[in-house]
Amino acid sequence: MLKGGRRKVREGRVISSSMDKTASVQVARTYMHKTFKRVIRRRKNYLVHDNQNELNVGDRVRIIETRPISRNKNWRLLEIIEKSK
């Protein structure tokens, strides 16, 4: 039997790739407010492990949760959806 649950997968845009083997990805999500019924937009930044240094600013990527790689890095690159122009 497998231990643990499923790994989380997120989709976002690369906002920084100046670090070695690391990129910063911004994930945006929208949801409806419970009381006021307004659409709320939230953004969060994740540090992503990019082993080949193939990410550039503006790329759309899919990331997956993984074991801790460093103090703040718990995500790795799953695939590049769209390269920036």
Res 85: pLDDT: 83
Res 1: pLDDT: 55
Residues whose CB falls within 8 Å of the CB of residue 2, separated by 6 or more in sequence, listed in order? none
Picking from 13, 16, 15, the residue whose alpha carbon sits closest to that of residue 63 is 13
What's the CA angle centered on 10, arms 85 and 69, to 5 degrees? 100
Q: Domain 9-82's class? A: mainly beta
Res 5: pLDDT: 79
Per-residue pLDDT tens, the chain, 85 aa: give them: 556 679 999 999 999 999 999 999 999 999 999 999 999 999 999 999 999 999 999 999 999 999 999 999 999 999 999 999 8
- Pull the structure tokens for residue 63: 């990331």
Domain ranges of the chain: 9-82
